Amino acid sequence: MKKISSKSHRIEDSEMRPEYDFTGGVRGKHYKDMLKGYTIKIHKSDGTTVVKHIKPVSETVILAPDVLEYFPDSEAVNKALRSLIALIPSQRQMGAKKERKTRATSLAV
């Protein structure tokens, strides 16, 4: 019996296994549906089924794949947005702060 060397069998993070075939696959096929929310059904061994309805959090921001390449985490996104905020004229910044304060007050009520 021939021994398979661990070097040739090792798969790096960036490589896909040859048995994975994505020809005909569509990137982002279910993206819009995910934004609307989705349902998970869990079938338990005792015959019961648990249904969970998942709704996206209203504060969730979803980055497009091409943007995600440049901003891999929340820290990078926030840093970039803060630098853009600095370019906004101060009068407009004050209006945005007032709007956030009003919205926060209405949520607290």
pLDDT band at residue 12, thresholds of 50, 70 and 90? low
Dihedral sign from CA coordinates of 77, 83, 87, 88:
positive
Q: Is residue 8 part of a domain?
A: no
Q: Is residue 16 part of a domain?
A: no
Q: Is residue 102 part of a domain?
A: yes
* Predicted model pTM: 0.36
Q: Is residue 9 part of a domain?
A: no
Has residue 50 got a pLDDT over 90?
yes
Count of domains observed in the chain: 1
Q: Is residue 50 part of a domain?
A: yes
Q: Is residue 98 part of a domain?
A: yes
Q: Is residue 21 part of a domain?
A: no
Amino acid letter for position 13? D
Q: Is residue 33 part of a domain?
A: yes
What pLDDT is attached to residue 84?
A: 93
Domain range for 77 = 29-108
pLDDT tens readout for residues 21-49: 888 988 888 877 877 888 899 999 999 99
